[in-house]
Amino acid sequence: MRPEIASLLGIVVAAVLSMPVYHFGRARRGVDKLEIADRGSFILGPFLRDWFYWFIHPVVWLSLALGLSPLFYNLLGVVFGALAGWAFATGHHALGGWGVLLGGVADILDGRIARAQGVASQRGAFLDSSLDRFAELGAFVGLAVRFGGSPWGLAWVTAGVGGSLLVSYTRARGESLGVVCKLGVMQRAERLILLGFAGILDPAVSARWPDLSWSDAGGASLLLPVLVVIAVGTMGTAIFRTVWIAQRLPAVDPRR
């Protein structure tokens, strides 16, 4: 068994075994005090999202004991994004996938630690959102280098990063005008999960079914179709949010 598959399988087994423990202890634990009330939807459902927050709580506890700040995890997310980009660019797809997933975990930890320390602020929220974009851009730049020899591959990478940024931009711009929209698919969590798992599994898929690799696509069998899904999903969500928000804004300036 390939090392990346063995590592992923071990984590999945540990996760599945922990879910009954989480489920039967939910009533005793009560409401998650580190969660925000107005978080958007998660395509895999609230149970898996809430379980994951519980699963990584020991890291939160250890970070609080060590005095690590939310900014530490903001910057760590950027580092993981840059490392993922380097790994994708040099053909280390599994390593790139792990970098994407670990960057996502760092993104979750910064907010939970900020709320646990009582230091959540507008400045922190701004840095969190902005540095998330830097981290995501780092991974996509590496993918652009990897698929640079394929016009269609490069096009899908460009559409993916553009759509990802537009999903965030439409929400932010709408909120600045007083309209909150967290609807749609391919938000950051979904993008990270798809791209991370695709990177980790890509070497095994490419070795087992080499005929599925696209010419000039860096030997990837799984990454490219997942990038297509991300590009279509993010563009679709950005278009939907644009229309949804525009319909709820006045066509005439109310100050006149």
**CATH number where 73 lies:** 1.20.120.1760
pLDDT at position 205, please? 84
What residues make up the domain containing 81?
41-247
Our answer to whether residue 211 is catalytic in this structure is no
Q: How many domains does the chain have?
A: 1
pLDDT in the model for residue 206: 80
Task: Kindly report, residue by residue over 18-38, the tens digit of the pLDDT.
Answer: 988 888 877 677 666 777 655
> Which pLDDT band, with edges at 50, 70 and 90, does 253 fall under?
low
Exposure on the CB side of residue 45, measured as CA atoms within 13 A: 3
Q: Does residue 92 form part of some domain? A: yes
**Is 28 inside a domain boundary?**
no
pLDDT of 185 > 90? The answer is: no
Eight-class DSSP state of 221: S
pLDDT: which is higher, 254 or 103: 103
What is the distance between the alpha carbons of residues 255 and 4, in angstroms, rounded to a whole number?
Answer: 59
Q: What is the pLDDT of residue 166?
A: 95
Check pLDDT > 70 for residue 217. no
**223 vs 217: CA distance, rounded Å:** 9
Token duo for residue 147: 């698929």
Instruction: Kindly state whether residue 24 falls inside one of the protein's structural domains.
Output: no
Is 234 within the bounds of a domain? Answer: yes
Give the model's confidence band at 226: pLDDT under 50 very low, under 70 low, under 90 confident, else very high. Answer: very high
In a domain, 186, yes or no: yes
Question: Annotated catalytic residue: which of 110, 128, 132, 202?
Answer: 132
Is position 15 within any domain? no
Band of residue 229 on the pLDDT scale cut at 50, 70, 90: very high
Is residue 197 a part of any domain in this protein?
A: yes
Residue 4 in any domain: the answer is no
